[in-house]
A and B are shown apart, each in its own frame.
Chain A
């Protein structure tokens, strides 16, 4: 498995501001992923982050809104920019282990007022 931590665990933000979420893994991994889980909904993949290259975004998600950094093999950040109430969600990072097995962090619960 993997030990994954996220910061902050939760936050309440004002519309128009930005929040950067951090994801730290206990050992080096090639692939890191960011997901969004809207209230009472399932998980939706935002982007895939590989170290040393630009993140790959899924349809409906753009870099200007969700810029991602991946400075090394144990760390990544996701920024939610120019937030609106519709961005209120749980944001989750995950990592690959043993081929395609994915493990998730505890999530960051974001409320935008």
Chain B
């Protein structure tokens, strides 16, 4: 099965600055990499995902980059705002290929936006 490592565990940035969270995965056959945001008392919310046929994907202030050779992917949040404060999780398919068999999650990053 897949193994996903996520860093850092806590990230504190000034409002307006950028935040970067990094993940590595072990299975070179994995081809789908989602990012989730979890606010206190809520379920994880899918914020962006990337498939292995592209190296980068953007959605407004959020972007994800993928390096298949190095088996790592990163979440980039620009112009951070107080509402970005949450726990962010990366994930990859638990078994080779797609996520139809469930996801393996990183340990999470607690992002704190300082006013």
Interface of A toward B, CB cutoff 8 Å = 1, 4, 31, 33, 41-45, 48, 56, 58, 92, 96, 99-107
Contacts and interface: CB of A to CB of B under 8 A. Distances in A.
Interface in B28-42: 32, 34, 36, 42
Contacts of A103: 46
Given A42-B107, A92-B43, 4 more contacts: A43-B44, A48-B101, A101-B99, A102-B34
A34 to B, nearest CB: 9
Given A42-B89, A42-B106, A43-B105, A106 B42 contact: yes
A107 B43 contact: yes
Contacts, number: 58
A106 B93 CA distance: 21
Contacts of B101: 48, 56
Contact of B98 (A41, A42, A100): A100
24 contacts: A4-B43, A41-B107, A41-B108, A42-B89, A42-B105, A42-B106, A42-B107, A42-B108, A43-B103, A43-B105, A58-B94, A96-B99, A96-B100, A99-B98, A100-B93, A100-B100, A101-B34, A102-B46, A102-B103, A104-B43, A104-B44, A106-B42, A107-B42, A107-B43
Interface size band for B: 20 to 34
Interface string B22-58: 0000000000101010000011111001000000000
B106 A104 contact: no
B102 interface: yes
B104 interface: yes
Q: Which of B43, B49, B104 has the most CB of A within 10 A?
A: B43
Nearest to A30: B100
Interface of B: 32, 34, 36, 42-46, 49, 89, 93-94, 98-108
A33 B102 CA distance: 7
Contact of B32 (A45, A48, A100): A100
B36 A104 contact: yes
- Residue among A4, A92, A99 with most chain B CB within 10 A: A99
